[in-house]
Structure 1
């Protein structure tokens, strides 16, 4: 147990497995104490069948929160020990239902004293403790249903990685990164077009000298993401959010979100009223990002890109 003092909460799963193993070993010994022919892992299935007759494996799985293959395996084991039987449903011959056998039904009566004694022992144990484990488990189950531990770790990782990300203004030394990152993603899904070459080969004259902006995301000093605000000659929109690209090795580190927000803040600082962008619906992560940033779909505008099949806007005022 000393190892948990060194590992801390990151070994939560291992510690819970050890606690579960203790309860499981004790449960097996308790069944022997009361002369009940039962394995601890069978109990949830047995309890459902003791309350309901003619239950399908699917219904049992839903009731106890196990997978169907897991329940099927338990039912086979219980059947091999003579505790359950499987029959065709009398009302629907296509369904197999599980029932306690005569031997299984005998256990219902025999196990009642065990139920009472175990419940009282657990209540006494709980009274000795400073914390109510049962309530804590219910609370943790609820919280993990809202957001799994995996999702929480992934979000924590993104926040940590994001602390190494810096969004900086474009400089000439980033021209190759600006071009290469964009060429890589465009070529992966589509083909390079004339408008791409103009902005990527000549960012100074095509974007910056016309009043646009380019932002670069540095991860530990290395350029891993870029995006541009291209000045639009349009009464409705001030800038087009364009040429956003993130290196595959930096994906999952929140780079797109940081770039998008930085671009929006830059547009606001330039007193922009609205932003516009074009994309393609096969780029689902990108579309989801734009929605999270606040962009909404618009229609009916001409586009110079063959690949564009969705247009979006963000009103800033």
Structure 2
């Protein structure tokens, strides 16, 4: 246990497997002392079959929460040892029905005493423990059904990496990076248009000098993202030219850039932030919705690729 105390909760999977192995080892010996020669991993399938005359592999798998392939393998092993018999459904040859043989039924009778003794022993162990393991397992199963461990780790990774991202003001030294980042995503999905060339070839004249602002995202010393707000009038700014390098996606960079632009627009006196996009860019649309934008019907767009307009009241 020193290893687990040293490593900590990140080893929860290994520790649970160790506990499972400990219990399974004892379980294998338990069947022998009750005179039943079955494998511990057969037990869920075996138990379901004791409750019905016969059942399909599909239904058994669904009831015990295991894959069809796993249950099929267990059934084959039980057939080989004479505990169950398997037959094809005469109406659907893809379905197999399983039932206990006489040997299986005799084993089930012997296991009645075992079930009683095991339940009493486990309850006794629970009474000696500070925490109710059974309830804790139920709670963890529920929590992981709502949000998997994989997703939780991905979110923590995104949060940690996002803390390393710096959002800085654009300077003329960023002109080439601003252009390259935007050209990269535009040419991947669409074609460069006249309005793109105006903004990307002359960002100072087209955006900054007209009262707008550009932010750049820096991660580990590299410029990996950009976003601009373009002044439309004294109270309205357009969120435009948001781009994140494919090499740096998944670090909340788009969110951080969007938030910075919205805050800047508010500081400049805006009450509305407007944007145009294309619905095929689903991650971008989801980001805008997350930032609070709503779909509107706006003025005609200068971009051929634009098929959605959105707006945020700030």
Same fold (TM over 0.5): yes
Per the alignment, residue 315 of structure 1 pairs with 313
CA–CA separation in structure 2 for the residues paired with 1:87 and 1:157: 50
Secondary structure of the structure 1 residue equivalent to 2:167: strand
Does the alignment pair 1:19 with 2:23?
no
Does the alignment pair 1:71 with 2:71?
yes
Does the alignment pair 1:292 with 2:290?
yes
CA–CA separation in structure 2 for the residues paired with 1:271 and 1:81: 80
Secondary structure of the structure 2 residue equivalent to 1:253: coil
Equivalent positions of 1:3-82 (< 5 A) are 3-82=3-82
TM-score, normalising length: structure 2: 0.94
Secondary structure of the structure 1 residue equivalent to 2:55: coil
Runs of 4+ in 1 over 4 A off after TM superposition: none
Per the alignment, residue 239 of structure 1 pairs with 237
In the alignment of these two chains, the number of paired residues is 313
CA–CA separation in structure 1 for the residues paired with 2:237 and 2:77: 67
Per the alignment, residue 228 of structure 1 pairs with 228
Per the alignment, residue 105 of structure 2 pairs with 105
Give the C-alpha shift of residue 52 in structure 1: 2.4
CA RMSD of aligned residues (A): 1.7
Give the C-alpha shift of residue 242 in structure 1: 0.9
Question: 1:264 pairs with 262, 265, 270, which one?
Answer: 262
Cα deviation, 1:235-277, whole Å, max 9, x if unaligned, reads xx71111111111121111111111112112222223222221
Per the alignment, residue 273 of structure 1 pairs with 271
Per the alignment, residue 134 of structure 1 pairs with 134
| Structure 1 spans left out of the alignment, 5+ residues | none
Per the alignment, residue 176 of structure 2 pairs with 176
Cα deviation, 1:194-216, whole Å, max 9, x if unaligned, reads 11111011110101111111111
CA–CA separation in structure 1 for the residues paired with 2:312 and 2:33: 70
CA–CA separation in structure 1 for the residues paired with 2:268 and 2:46: 69
Give the C-alpha shift of residue 162 in structure 1: 1.4
CA–CA separation in structure 1 for the residues paired with 2:271 and 2:44: 61
CA–CA separation in structure 2 for the residues paired with 1:299 and 1:86: 63
CA–CA separation in structure 1 for the residues paired with 2:51 and 2:266: 64
CA–CA separation in structure 2 for the residues paired with 1:69 and 1:259: 47
Per the alignment, residue 122 of structure 2 pairs with 122
Give the C-alpha shift of residue 89 in structure 1: 4.2
Cα deviation, 1:27-55, whole Å, max 9, x if unaligned, reads 11111111112111111111111112332
CA–CA separation in structure 1 for the residues paired with 2:80 and 2:299: 69
Equivalent positions of 1:143-222 (< 5 A) are 143-222=143-222
TM-score, normalising length: structure 1: 0.94
* Residues 1:105 and 1:308: Cα distance change in structure 2 (over 3 Å): same
CA–CA separation in structure 1 for the residues paired with 2:225 and 2:52: 59
CA contact (8 A) 1:165 1:220 kept: yes
CA contact (8 A) 1:54 1:89 kept: no
CA–CA separation in structure 1 for the residues paired with 2:297 and 2:39: 63
Give the C-alpha shift of residue 148 in structure 1: 0.9
Moved more, 197-206 or 181-190: 181-190
Secondary structure of the structure 2 residue equivalent to 1:232: strand
Secondary structure of the structure 1 residue equivalent to 2:16: helix
CA–CA separation in structure 1 for the residues paired with 2:279 and 2:37: 59
Per the alignment, residue 253 of structure 1 pairs with 251
| Structure 2 spans left out of the alignment, 5+ residues | none
Cα deviation, 1:166-221, whole Å, max 9, x if unaligned, reads 21221111111111111111111211111111101111010111111111112133
CA contact (8 A) 1:280 1:308 kept: yes
